[in-house]
Structure 1
Amino acid sequence: MLRITDPAASLAFYRDKMGMTLMNKLQFPEYDFDLYFLSSHPEPYSHEVGSDDANKYLWSYPHPTLELTHNYNSPPSHSGNGDGDGFGHIAFHVDDVYATTEELLSNDVDFKKKPDEGNMKGLAFAYDPDKYWVEIVKRSPGHSLKLPKNLSQTMLRIKDPEKSIPFYESLGLTVLLSKHFPQWNFSLYFLGCLDPSEHFPSDGTDEEKSNFVNSRHDPVLELTHNHGTEGDASFEYKNGNEAGGQGFGHVGFLVDDVDLAVDDLKRKGYIMKKEPGEGTMKGLAFAFDPDGYAVEIIKRGGYDDKGTPYYFEK
């Protein structure tokens, strides 16, 4: 989830320029916020935004979405990538990074990094309207993807992979690929929810695993470990929800039973930010991952005939 300032500007970027589909909009005027859910939807979308059908489809959708939150009276105050920030970027896969960069430049998109700039050649970073970084990455050859662009990752910085990876594995993610850059003192871990139809080369080479990650439709969670932070007891990343530094909000998981998922996390020693029965919005939960990022646990399919996975009680 990313907080945004201007829904019209953000939709123009993610829907019109990055090719995403607006799946649904949820409005909560009594609480001064609206939610927008977008996806790299592979087929034509037939549900009317705001309808019960769109709501039911959203909360049973088997692929990740990008959630944009518009708080009426408190725009985001930070886009990440400052000193100590944990959230880094989201990313899209494309066939040709150079052509996509030129296309976006011609549509008045600003860039932090063009493909031939910096140490890492061949990838780019655009700015969205709130100055969040949006990485543009080349797909692997031989892919079967139909969309010109597809949402491909969310990147978070972590202090200790030996703690963070087991947490996300407990929520159903699998480490698909790891990359280590000792010359620059960092490592990358790419985790994803594998569909039974996918053929992940678990015993394959790093090249085969990289080709798998860079040719799949669904995005991965990229965890970036800057070497040495794990040994510093006082070190911690900002999680995006601090006063004066709000931008990135959380990642989320759909589960069949929220209570069982929460009990499992607590049994493994993880701390909850919000239990399902706490707060105004009932039926969903938030856990803290080992770095203090908020992780939403939400019911797949919802609690009612509209598919709504939460309900309000004061």
Structure 2
Amino acid sequence: MAAAVTPPREPTSVVGANPIFAQTMLRVADPAASAAFYTGVLGMSHLTSLEFPALEFSLHFYGYPPAGEAPAPPASAPQEERAAWLWARPYPTVELTHNWGTEKADSGFQGYDNGNDAATGGRGYGHLGVLVDDPVAAVAAMKAAGVKVTREASPFQDVGVLGFVADPDGYLVEIIQRAGGGAGGAASAGPPAGMVGPDPVLAQTMLRVRDPAASIAFYRRLGLTYLTALAFDDFSLHFLGAPPAPPPAATVGGNDRPARAGWLWGLRSPTVELTHNHGTEADAGFGGYHNGNSEPKGFGHLGLIVSDVAAAVEGLRGEGVRVVREASPFQDAGVIAFVADPDGYLVELIQRAGEVGAPYAKPL
């Protein structure tokens, strides 16, 4: 089994204090079908939408807002106002991008790639992950409702109970048993959310990476903290995030995999899960992973909200990071930029609209 990477003390962030891991962007063919899945199945709320008629696409944002949060400005409000509300949210969202016309039966559109099929050439992005009390019950309810189940909920080695389902475009969602959950655990408070039970947490976005040392260094410079690793015979999972408190030293570098998984599945803040298939970092013949933005398209980018996009871009450029889009206003949706990580995955940097708050964890 490969040893877990134990990075040194966290470096200074290039993007300023308390960046927000704000979004995972996925392209979808039919926004109505996707809305039914993300709200009715996963129990998320539709937060707001941004429309770009001149470019013929729309962005629809979903998430698990804290109870009692004031709603977004209405759809009739100026888009600039709705975008500013969105860029002040402290919690993660799923951004579903709809290129107009793909939903029509006669469009000839063949669908998006979910990032998990090497045969299509699209292997790269892996999945979203949601923490729930009882993944067995949740996956069973989804299956009964006609949702495609790609892995029944059951123990995965010694890191807990999990299952996988597919959304209408085939993107995978991992349903993970939260620490203390399950049939014998105490039920979370609150009403059920969709088919996943009460109090789900949007917990992770998984990307495959070739060289974990390079990828970890990149995301740490974006202000994320290295949390822990789960190492298996042929692959390792490295988790980074921005939790309210740093992980215990034994969790970061210890050898007790069940204990590290248990701590991880108890977090209430989002993580980036970097999957390293052992040997790719030294394989001269490895062709790399697909970032989802050329054919076959699917996954688009991660998004971080930062206090000064222009300064962040210059800091990253100075360290050799590839800048894909310079910091500038994007129509009436605020200032954004794009940079590429070591595997070519895009990261959108978005100008913060609210105050710099404390690192986020979903309230109990």
Pair in the same fold by TM > 0.5: yes
Inter-partner Cα distance in structure 2 for 1:295 and 1:29: 24
Q: Which residue of 2 aligns with 1:115?
A: 153
Tell me what 1:18 maps to: 42
Alignment of 1:198-213 (within 5 A): 198=245, 200-204=247-251, 205=254, 206=256, 207-213=258-264
CA contact (8 A) 2:334 2:350 kept: no
- Rounded to whole Å, the distance in 2 between the matches of 1:165 and 1:190 is 9
SS at 1:12's partner residue?
helix
Inter-CA distance 208–42: structure 2 relative to 1 (3 Å threshold): farther
- Offset at residue 229 of structure 1 (A): 0.4
Deviation of 1:202 after TM superposition, in Å, equals 3.4
- SS state of the match for residue 40, structure 2? helix
Deviations 1:209-228 (A, max 9, x none): 43332122222110000001
Secondary structure at 1:101's aligned position in 2? helix
Residue in structure 1 matching 2:57, options 33, 38, 44: 33
2:175 corresponds to:
136
In structure 2, what is the Cα distance between the partners aligned to 1:276 and 1:199?
31
Q: Say yes or no: does 1:299 pair with 2:299.
A: no
Q: What is the aligned counterpart of 1:61 among 43, 65, 89?
A: 89
**Distance in 2, Cα, partners of 1:122 & 1:47:** 34
Q: Does 1:189 align with 2:238?
A: yes
Structure 2: 5+ residue stretches without partners: 1-24, 103-108, 191-197, 355-364
CA contact (8 A) 1:21 1:45 kept: no
Q: Whole-Å Cα distance in 2 between the matches of residues 295 and 13 of structure 1?
A: 25
Asked if 1:258 is matched to 2:305, the reply is no
Bigger shift: 15-24 or 120-129?
A: 120-129
Counterpart residue number, 1:310: none
Identify unmatched segments of 5+ residues in structure 1: 303-314
CA RMSD, aligned part only?
Answer: 2.5
Q: Contact conserved, 1:200 with 1:209, CA < 8 A, in 2?
A: no
Identity of aligned residues (%): 41
* Cα deviation digits, residues 209-257 of structure 1 (max 9, x gap): 43332122222110000001001234211111112x1000000111000
Alignment match, 1:311: none
List per-residue Cα deviations over 1:22-66 (Å, max 9, x = no partner). 111001111100001111112144324434664333111111111
Matched residue SS, 1:114: strand
The CA deviation string for residues 139-198 of structure 1, in whole angstroms up to 9 with x for no partner, is 00189775442211110000000100000000111111101112xx10000111123xx3
CA distance in 1, matches of 2:270, 2:59: 20
Deviations, residues 76-96 of structure 1 (Å, cap 9, x unaligned): 531110115110111111111
SS at match of 1:276: strand
What TM-score does the superposition give when structure 2 sets the normalisation length? 0.75
Greater relative contact order (Cα < 8 A, sep 6+): 2
Q: After superposition, where does 1:141-290 map in structure 2 within 5 Å?
A: 141=180, 147-182=198-233, 185-195=234-244, 198=245, 200-204=247-251, 205=254, 206=256, 207-235=258-286, 236-243=288-295, 245-277=296-328, 283-290=335-342
Query: Residue 236 of structure 2 aligns to which amino acid in structure 1?
Result: S
Q: Which residue identity is paired with 1:257? A: D
The amino acid across from 1:301 in the alignment is A
**TM-score, structure 1 length as denominator?**
0.86
What SS is found at the alignment partner of 1:284?
strand
Q: Quote the offset at 1:2 in angstroms.
A: 0.2
Pair 216,61 (structure 1): closer, same or farther in 2 beyond 3 Å:
same
Looking at structure 2, the residues matched to 72 and 278 of structure 1 have their Cα atoms a distance apart, in angstroms, of: 23
Equivalent-residue separation in structure 2 for 1:70 and 1:128 (angstroms): 15
SS in structure 2 of the partner of residue 115 of structure 1: strand
Q: Secondary structure at the match of 1:8?
A: helix
In structure 1, distance between residues paired with 2:57 and 2:249:
42
